[in-house]
Amino acid sequence: LSTTGACRAIQKLTRVRVVDNSALGSTPYHRPPKCIHVYNKTGVGKVGDKILLAIKGEKKKALIVGHKMPGPTMTPRFDSNNVVLIEDNGNPIGTRIKTPIPYILRQREGEFSKVLAIARNFV
Amino acid sequence: CRASGDGKPAKFQPPPKPVIIDKQKQRTERRFLSPEFIPPRGRTDPLKYYMERKDMIQRRKVFNIPEFYVGSVLAVTTADPYANNKSNRFVGICIQRGGKGLGATFVLRNVIEDQGVEVCYELYSPRIQAIEVLKLEKRLDDNLMYLRDALPEYSTFAVNMKPVPYLDHEEIPVNKLQVRMKPKPWSKRWERPKYNIKGIKFELPESKMKEAQKWSQPWLEFDMLREYDTSKIEEKIWKEVNEGLKK
C-alpha cells in the first residue's frame, strides 16, 4: 500500500479562494469554488498556471496567484490558495486585487499584463 | 550648598549621577556564533565544513549579516529582476532558521492585507542586498511555526516599522509572549510534548492536555547516543571565524 503525500499546490478538486472583487467571487454560495481542471502537462498547478473553476454552478477560467506549497527560495508562500478569475482571452473579470501578488508573474508580462495592472500590492 | 560669587541665587545644578563600576562582576562579552557555522553530527570529512566556513567568512567580509534570533523582526531587500527598481523589500518575523553552511536559510512571516505570507531566504545568497534587524529579541521557542495557526494579529508587522534601538552589548530581551490560537484543527498538533512549545496559551480542556501527554517520550532526554556536545567545537570555530573576519 503506498499513499502519496498531500499536494498543497492546486490540482483537481482543490478548494480555492477567489481574490479579486468580481461579483462571482464575492457573493456567498453554499459550496466553495473548486478546481476541476488544470491546463498543464502535469495535473498540478503552480503560480502562473491557468485552471478551470466551478463557481456557483458555472465554469470559469482562473489564474493561480499563490498557493500553500513552498516554491523555490526567495518566492513567497501564501497561507491560502489564491486565484484570480479570468476570461478565455486573459482579461480579468474583477477590477481590483487587494491581496499581494508575487513578482514572478511579471516574467510573463505579455499574457498577464491586464491582471498585473489591476493588482495593488506585490510581494 | 555653594556660596555664589555674584551674590545672585546660583542656578540649580543637579549633582553628578553616580557611576557604579562593578569590578567584582566580570563583564562577560556576549559571543554570538551563528548556528549555521556549527557542523552537524555525521561522518563527513571536516575539510568540507572548513572550506564552507572559509567561503562564509569571505561573504561576511563583503556583506554584513547581523546577529538575529528566531522571533526578531527583520527587513530584507533582495535583487529582483521583475520588481520596480529591481529591488524588493520584505519585512517579517523570523520563524525558523535552518540549514548548515552556505545553504543556511531563514523564514520570514508577515500578514499583508489579511493574507499570511512567508518567504524563505538563503543567508548567503548573492541576491540579498541588505538585511536590517528592526527588532532584536528572542522568544520562548526555537521554531515559531505555530504562528500559522495563531490569530493573525501575532504575525502582523507594519512594513514601514521603525527600527527599535536595542540597548546594551549584553542581554537580548526574551519575549515571554503566550500566543492565542485559532480554534482547532491546526496544521500540527502543537499540544503534543514532541514539539515542546512553551509560547502558546493552550485553552484546551484538561482531558485533551492529558491525552496529549500519552505521546511523551521521557526517555529521550537521557538517551546518550543522541547527545551532541558542541561547546568545544564552538570554541574552535569561534576563534577561526574571528581571526578570519579581522584580516
- Section A10-16 average pLDDT: 92
Rounded to a whole number of angstroms, the distance from the CA of A51 to the nearest CA of chain B is 21
Reported pTM: 0.85
Rounded to a whole number of angstroms, the distance from the CA of A11 to the nearest CA of chain B is 20
Q: Which of residues 62-101 of A touch B (CB under 8 A)?
A: 66, 70, 73-80, 82, 98-100
Residue B184, domain member (yes or no): yes
CA–CA dist B216, B31 (Å, integer): 34
CA–CA dist B99, B64 (Å, integer): 19
Whether B45 and chain A come into contact, CB under 8 Å, resolves to: no
Superfamily of domain A10-118: Ribosomal protein L14/L23 (2.40.150.20)
pLDDT of B26 reads 55
Rounded to a whole number of angstroms, the distance from the CA of B120 to the nearest CA of chain A is 5
Query: Are B132 and B65 within 8 A, CB to CB?
Result: no
How does pLDDT run across B89-147, given as a tens digit for each residue? 999 999 999 999 999 999 999 999 899 999 999 999 999 999 999 999 899 988 999 99
CATH of the domain at B68: 2.30.30.790
Domain hosting B83: range is 46-246
H or E, element range at A59: strand A58-66
HEC secondary structure over chain B: CCCCCCCCCCCCCCCCCCCCCCCCCCCCCCCCCCHHHCCCCCCCCHHHHHHHHHHHHHHHHHCCCCCCCCCCEEEEEEECCCCHHHEEEEEEEEEEEECCHHHCEEEEEEEECCEEEEEEEECCCCCEEEEEEEECCEECCCCCHHHHCECHHHCCCCCCCCCCCCCCCCCCCEECCCECECCCCCCCCCCCCCCCCCCECCCCCHHHHHHHHHHCCCCHHHCHHHCCCCHHHHHHHHHHHHHHHHC
Instruction: State yes or no: pLDDT of B211 exceeds 80.
Output: yes
Which residues of chain B does A76 touch, with a Cβ-Cβ cutoff of 8 Å? 90, 117-119
Interchain contact, B120 vs A121, CB within 8 Å: no
Residue keyed to cell 567561503? B55
The total of structural domains in chain B comes to 1
Query: Are B118 and B108 within 8 A, CB to CB?
Result: yes
Instruction: State yes or no: pLDDT of A51 exceeds 90.
Output: yes
Cα distance between the two ends of chain A: 41
The cell for B51 is 572550506
% residues pLDDT > 70 (chain B): 90
The complex scores an ipTM of 0.87
pLDDT of A90 reads 87
Residue B33, domain member (yes or no): no
How does pLDDT run across B18-45, given as a tens digit for each residue? 766 665 555 566 678 899 999 999 899 9
Residue B66, domain member (yes or no): yes
Which residues of chain B does A77 touch, with a Cβ-Cβ cutoff of 8 Å? 117-120
- Domain edges within chain A: 10-118
pLDDT of B1 reads 53
Query: Are A76 and B117 within 8 A, CB to CB?
Result: yes
pLDDT of B18 reads 74
A73, A78, A82: which to substitute to probe chain B, counting the most B Cβ within 10 Å? Answer: A73
Residue B113, domain member (yes or no): yes
pLDDT of B167 reads 67
Q: Which residues, in sequence order, are bridge partners of residue A89?
A: none
Instruction: State yes or no: pLDDT of A84 exceeds 90.
Output: yes
